[in-house]
Amino acid sequence: MKKVILMLLLFVSTGSIVAQENNKNNEIDSLVEAALLRKGYKPSKTQFMIRGYGHAGIESVKTNGETASSFNGGTFAPIFLFKHSDRLMFETELEFQISGGSLDVGFEYADIIYVLNKNMTIRAGKFLLPFGTFMERLHPSWINRFTTKPLGFGHDGITPGSGVGVELRGAFNIGSSILNYSIYNTNGPGLKTPDGEEPIEAGMLTFDNLKDNNNSRAFGGRIGILPFADSSTEIGASYYTTAKVGDRGSIYENLWANLYAFDFSFVKQIPSLSGIVDVKAQYNNSKVDNIIYEIEEEPGIFEDLDFDNESKSYYMQISYRPSMSQNNFINKLEFVGRYSKLETPVGAGFQTNKKEYSIGLNYWISWRSLIKFNYQNITGTGGHDIIGRFKQEGVYFHWAIGF
Amino acid sequence: MKTYKIFGATVIVFSAVLALTIGSCSAEQTAAYKNRSGAQLWGENCIRCHNTPSPASYNDTDWETISLHMKVRANLTDDQAGKIFEFIKSAN
């Protein structure tokens, strides 16, 4: 009997030990499984991401009585971000666009970023210049409320869009205000001359200088102040200067250029207006040292172009989105208006005096995708390949998406 | 003459901004700013250029990459960027 009881006790205790072992093994298995699972999803310190934007649409533009209507499709601007650590990153943006029936490829920027400390970051490479705010922050099609840029920006514009060089930038608090800054040194602009590809535009600055043409760098910078704690308002001032703009060895080499800009931004959700009010403005001024440009109008016939080489442009834009409306259709609408003006030197081959009025109605499908329906009216004189009066009316219907 | 006018206008505008900035240095104003939450800063700063992004649009790893990109592009302070992206990661 004792033996039976002993056997039973042994059996029960052994079973208990085996059960405990099984439980332990299960526990270990689940821990290992969880660890492996975690390991599988653990992000590496090197991170790579593709973001960007694109748009497609249709537009009808009547220029000096001649109408051109076309689908505008396939613009694709990928942004590649390589984050190597919490301080080091490489960023680049390309732009593929169908223009005039062929594919244009643009190299917007490619720069290395290193965070030196919490108030200062260094960038080197080709980067968007903080000359005002439009080209650096607002030009992507999913951010720009219009399908076009204001006068004075982009092709034949008077403002620098990007540059090759090095930049220090950062921001810090002063009480409840914020001050941000940027200073940079780049290859600087070039100058269109009578012996160049577009002699009629002699005296116009070009900002696509991937290689310095005269060993004279451009210095520039921007200071922005956000005086209120809610960051609703920002006022900025930018400066860009270079001692030489012409090609080395040419008679234009020692011409200098000074540019400055002021920008303003106010964005706030105002409950009494049931929506978001967004006001943007920028004033640009460009002054290039004067010289007489001798243009060959016809073989053997020359004309001297003697003008004060100062250009200016500005734009003002206001938009309102009834974002607080209870109606799910209305709160995605946005009403927008813009006025811009461009004046280039009187007497220059590229003499221009134009003004633009635009209105638009946008519909936000999501926070990063919108349909734009714009009407634009530009009147004035001059412009690219235009002599005399210029009148353009355009209706644009675009769909833009950021990703 | 024109240069003087532009210079004068610039001085006036920046003096006004400077006065506002100095006014913002009071202890209450500074505390009011420092107490702003990540959600508030997210709502106030992203919208300066584009709509406020949905936190669910990206995962935490992607947000870390975007946070460095946007901190530099938008000239956010270290404090702003930290609070905004902590909020986004907690809300996605």
* pLDDT mean by block of 10 residues, chain A; 403 residues: 54 52 68 66 81 95 93 88 95 90 90 97 97 96 96 92 96 93 96 91 89 90 95 97 94 96 97 97 97 89 93 98 96 98 94 96 97 97 81 96 94
Residue with tokens 């005039």: A100
Strand-pair category, A177-186 with A218-226? antiparallel
Reported as type and span, the H/E element at residue B32 is helix B27-34
Taking the Cβ of residue B91 and every Cβ of chain A, the question of whether any pair is shorter than 8 Å is answered with no
Query: A85: how many CB neighbours lie within 10 A of its CB?
Result: 12
Phi and psi torsions of A155, nearest 5°: -60, 130
How many whole angstroms separate alpha carbon B80 and alpha carbon B34? 10
What token pair was written down for A25?
Answer: 């093994």
Among B21, B47, B72, beta carbon nearest to A174? B21
Whether chain B has a CB inside 8 Å of the CB on A42: the answer is no
What's the mean pLDDT when you consider all of chain B?
84
Give the helix/strand (H/E) hosting A64: none
Residue among A173, A285, A367 whose CB faces B54 most closely? A367
What pLDDT shows up at residue A94? Answer: 96
| Model confidence at B63: pLDDT above 70 | yes
The contacts of residue A354 (CB under 8 Å, 6+ apart) are A151, A341, A342, A378, A379, A380, A381, A382, A383, A390
Structure tokens given for A116: 């030196």
Interatomic CA distance for residues A177 and A175, integer angstroms? 5
| Residue of A403, A394, A402 whose CA lies nearest to A147 | A394
B10 touches chain A (CB under 8 A): yes
Nearest to A174 among B25, B51, B76 (CB): B25
pLDDT value at position B82? 95
ipTM: 0.84
Cα gap A67→A55, rounded to integer Å: 22
Minimum CA–CA partner of A79 in chain B: B69
Rounded to a whole number of angstroms, the distance from the CA of A269 to the nearest CA of chain B is 9
Are B25 and A175 in contact (CB < 8 Å)?
yes
**Rounded mean pLDDT of B53-73?**
94
CA distance A202 to A245: 12
Determine the distance in angstroms separating the CA of B41 from the nearest CA of chain A, rounded to an integer. 8
> A89 in contact with B at a CB cutoff of 8 Å?
yes
- Considering only CB atoms, A175 lies closest to which of B21, B49, B75, namely B21
Asked whether the beta carbons of residue A229 and residue B10 sit closer than 8 angstroms, the reply is no
Question: Per-residue confidence at B1, pLDDT binned at 50, 70, 90?
Answer: low
B70 DSSP assignment: H
Q: What mean pLDDT comes out for the span B21-39?
A: 75
Contacts of B64 in chain A (CB under 8 A): 43, 47, 83, 86
Q: Which of residues 258-297 of A touch B (CB under 8 A)?
A: 262, 265, 267, 269, 276, 278, 285
Which is nearest to A263 in space by CA: A286, A280, A285? A280
Q: Would you give the DSSP letter of residue A188?
A: -
Q: Which of B14, B20, B68 sits opposite A83 (nearest CB)?
A: B68
Which has the closest alpha carbon to A308: A326, A293, A323? Answer: A293
Q: Provide the CA A241 distance to its chain's centre, in angstroms.
A: 21
Which residues are A343's β-sheet partners? Answer: A312, A353
**How far apart, in Å, are the Cα atoms of B71 and each of A118, A380, B33, B67?**
10, 41, 18, 6
How many angstroms separate the CA atoms of A28 and B37, rounded? 41
Question: Which one-letter DSSP state was computed for residue A143?
Answer: T
Task: Give me the pLDDT at residue A74, please.
Answer: 73
Nearest-Cα distance to chain B for A124, in Å, is 13
Q: Which of A83, A169, A402 sits opposite B75 (nearest CB)?
A: A169
CA distance to A160, A284, B65, per residue, from A235 (Å): 19, 14, 28
Q: Quick check: A369 contacting B, CB < 8 Å?
A: no
**The pLDDT of residue B58:** 94
Alpha-carbon torsion (B56, B62, B67, B72), positive or negative: negative
Both tokens assigned to A41: 């999803």
pLDDT at residue A27, rounded to an integer: 77
DSSP state of A135: I
Q: Report yes or no: B92 at the A interface, CB cutoff 8 Å.
A: no
Q: Which amino acid is at A255?
A: L
